[in-house]
Structure 1
Amino acid sequence: MSAYDTQALDELRRWQLEMQRPPGLWNRATSGVQRKINSYIPEKVHASLTAVIKQMTNAVLTGSNFTASSPLLEGTLEEREARVRTTVDRYRKTAAVEGGITGAGGFLLGLADFPLLLSIKLKLLFEIASLYGFSGEDYRERLYLLHIFQLAFSSEAHRIDVYRKMQSWHEQSSHLPNSLDDFDWRKFQQEYRDYIDLAKMAQLVPVIGAPVGVIVNNRLLRKLGLTATNAYRMRWFERPQLTLDQ
């Protein structure tokens, strides 16, 4: 391996340890409060939110085939990740501008940030996948993107469960849902909503909404980019072993 590969592998291993860290006392307490709040929300509301997020996410997942770049077939890890960093920076700037505009527009326009930001995040994941040489046309790859999304924006307890499913992904094919319709959308929407509720709520407040939107969206995209980078590093470093086994 090159010096860059060695450094990337070391960073990946530290990240993997972090992904497996048990939830802390504060996280367990806040998760308990959030579950209690969710229990007071009528089932019809949960069902409606699940349906809306599923529809929005599916719209991006199915539509991105026409906008995402073709898989990059050649290039070292260092070359690919240089392009990944440039791509993440571009999407961070887009998300920051979008958050500032919607945050400055008051409550109603602030609500529009939710589907817009979701779309930006998912499209970023498609771009990152292609730079590591994976095609979003395969529904199994889309499932992997959804797992990355959950890994970035979930409680610590759920994060551990998602991470375990992502280990040795090439061995998970027989255990994957038959289609995106069989994906656990209820859990997906609850974890995502609970994760960003506190961060995004201030964006709906007049005057401070714009700067909050810029800062929060920037940080959320940075976190997603870092999570996706390490998630695809896991796949990258599995490749040599796959070659040896064949």
Structure 2
Amino acid sequence: MRMPSSPEQIEERLQAIREWEQRYFENREMEMGSVQELQAEALSRLPEKWQKKLIEGVDRFLFYTQSMILNANVQREVEERILATARVFRDDITNIADVRKLTLEQNQFIRTQVVAKQRLYAFGQGGITGFGGPFLLAADLPLIMAINLRTVQLSALAFGYDMRHPAEMMIALKVFEVGTSPSGTQYQGWKELESEEENIVGDLPGFYNGSEQVINEEWLHQPLRQIGKLAMIFMLRKKLIQGVPLIGIAYGAYSNYRLTQQVSDIASVYYEKRYLLERWHEKG
């Protein structure tokens, strides 16, 4: 298969993405309900000073986690696997940016290969949390955040966006924010993502000229939802089937899997759309 080589073919694929956006965000809006209203009420009772401290703390955690992942040996290993797969299709691939030389179908194939395990990790991690132990419950939120941040990073790499570039690091964090946001606020964040390329300054490696705050007040609904999930798991820990809290395990696994699937969808479509728009401008 060839990458869409004409403006008409690129436009056809972009139209399919626009239809996906309409369906997806309409469904997100329909999911808004009493739970989110209760979360908003709970947040409104939290003093603004503490909301600000919480936002700053989450931002620091995300920056630290992203830096730790990108400097780990596993990052270099996954980059080498992506490059090795890309060279099966083209022998002139030498770095991550060259991955954009591949056809769209080839980029999608690579992304599927590297991201599939992330949903399994989320499923397994959620299942372990379902045992309901204090340490496991406490570790759930930072672990699922790290898994989903990694999901975004892998999606970017599969479409040829190098996470070592400062601007790409910031954009990945903002894709993560949209993917993990409550359903009712995702569309606004998605529209803001579409203009993020304007904040890239200079040639590669580009610097970032936009806001460096990632998390906002609306995003704080997500940890409240996670706390509600953990409370449910804690209550289910005594409902044993042959000595094992199977209901809590199933609930934790499903909840984390669903969140990672949501992040995966957002990241995949964002980077594919960005990739196609770049091809469009090149041919325009």
User: Normalization by structure 2: what TM-score?
Assistant: 0.72
Q: Is 1:71 aligned to residue 96 of structure 2?
A: yes
CA contact (8 A) 1:153 1:192 kept: yes
1:187 maps to 217
Q: 2:41 aligns with which of 36, 44, 49?
A: 36
Q: 2:89 matched to which residue of 1?
A: none
Q: 1:112: how far off?
A: 0.8
TM-aligned CA deviation for residue 35 of structure 1: 1.8
- The structure with higher relative contact order (CA 8 Å, sep 6+) is 1
Of 157-166 and 65-74, deviating more is: 65-74
2:249 & 2:214 partners in 1: Cα distance? Answer: 33
**Does the residue aligned with 1:136 lie in a helix, a strand or coil?**
coil
> Comparing 192-201 with 62-71, which one deviates more in the overlay?
192-201
Supply the distance in 1 between the matched residues of 2:23 and 2:13 (Cα, whole angstroms). 15
Which moved further from structure 2: 120-129 or 199-208? 199-208
Moved more, 104-113 or 194-203: 194-203
Contact kept, 8 Å, 2:199 with 2:208, in 1: the verdict is no
CA distance in 2: counterparts of 1:217 and 1:86, whole angstroms: 20
The 2-side partners of 1:57 and 1:91 are apart by 17
**Cα gap change, 1:95/1:20 in structure 2, threshold over 3 Å: closer, same or farther?**
closer
Other-structure match for 1:89? 116
Question: How big is the shift at 1:229?
Answer: 0.8
Corresponding position: 1:151 with 2:178: yes
Deviation at 1:212, TM superposition (A): 1.4
More displaced 10-residue stretch of structure 1: 233-242 or 101-110: 101-110
Q: 1:141 maps to what in 2? A: 168
Residue 115 of structure 1, CA deviation: 0.4
Higher mean Cα deviation, 7-16 or 210-219? 7-16
Query: 1:40-66 deviations in whole A, cap 9, x for unaligned?
Result: 224454344324322221112222322
Is the CA contact (8 Å cut-off) linking 2:51 and 2:217 kept in structure 1?
Answer: no
Partners of 2:49 and 2:198 in 1: CA distance: 37
Equivalent pair of 1:154/1:195 in contact (CA under 8 Å)? no
Q: Do the aligned residues in 1 keep the contact of 2:177 with 2:214 (CA within 8 Å)?
A: no
> 2:250 is aligned with what amino acid?
P
Unaligned runs of 5+ in 2: 80-94, 202-206, 238-244
In structure 2, do the counterparts of structure 1 residues 234 and 199 end up closer, same or farther at CA, with 3 Å as the change threshold? farther
Contact 1:22 1:157 in 2 (8 A): no
Give the % identical residues.
Answer: 20
Task: Give unmatched runs, 5+ long, in structure 1.
Answer: none
Q: Which residue of 2 aligns with 1:219?
A: 258
1:170 maps to which residue? 197
Match of 1:130 among 157, 180, 195: 157
**What is the count of residue pairs matched by the alignment?**
242
Task: Show CA shifts across 1:94-118 (max 9, x none).
Answer: 1211121222142442121110111
Separation in 2 of the partners of 1:191 and 1:138?
A: 30
Verify the 8 A CA contact 2:199 2:209 in the aligned structure 1: no
Whole-angstrom CA distance in 2 between matches of 1:23 and 1:129: 24
Moved more, 82-91 or 36-45: 36-45
Q: 1:109 matched to which residue of 2?
A: 136
Question: What is the distance in 2 between the residues matched to 1:31 and 1:117?
Answer: 21
For residues 23 and 85 of structure 1, the distance between their equivalents in structure 2, rounded to whole angstroms, comes to: 24
The two structures have a TM-score, normalised by structure 1, of: 0.82
Whole-angstrom distance in 1 between the partners of 2:31 and 2:160 = 39
CA drift of 1:122 comes to 0.8
Instruction: State the Cα deviation string for residues 194-245 of structure 1 (Å, max 9, x = none).
Output: 4544455423331333221211122211221111110111101111233246
1:133 positional shift: 0.4
